[in-house]
Amino acid sequence: MAKSKLEELSDIYRVQNLIKNDYQKGESGKYGPTHKNALSDGDAKGKGSGTIGDTSNGGSDIDINGNPSIPKTGRNQLMSQNLYDSENQYTVPDTSENADQFRTL
């Protein structure tokens, strides 16, 4: 069965757009969690650290250092104002003495 005009044009545009995709060129270009554009390495592209579940080491330059046009932004600035850090960690309060102070129906 012959292709419709739409299918013929789709084939042409698909090839043209795949050429533009930087992540399809060879094994080193495949995009994944350790790709240079996925890693947080100081540029504006990457957000991750390459380690699943690591939420404190990722982020782009703006995520880490803040937006230059907006004061007091970015993880570094916000962490310096945080009451809790590695020395003073947030913990769950001990509620063992609260036994029998409430009941469920």
**pTM for this entry:** 0.49
Q: Which residue has the higher pLDDT, 42 or 7?
A: 7
How far, in Å, CA of 24 to CA of 14, rounded?
13
Per-residue pLDDT tens digits for 65-97: 889 999 888 888 888 888 887 788 888 888 888
10 band by pLDDT with thresholds 50, 70 and 90: very high
Q: Calculate the average pLDDT of the chain.
A: 82
Q: Please report which confidence band the pLDDT of residue 24 belongs to, taking 50, 70 and 90 as the band edges.
A: low
Write out the DSSP string of the chain.
Answer: -PPPHHHHHHHHHHHHHHHH-GGGSTGGG--STTSTTTB-SSSSS--B-SSTT--SS---HHHHH--TTSTT-SHHHHHHH-S--SSS---PPP-GGGTTS----
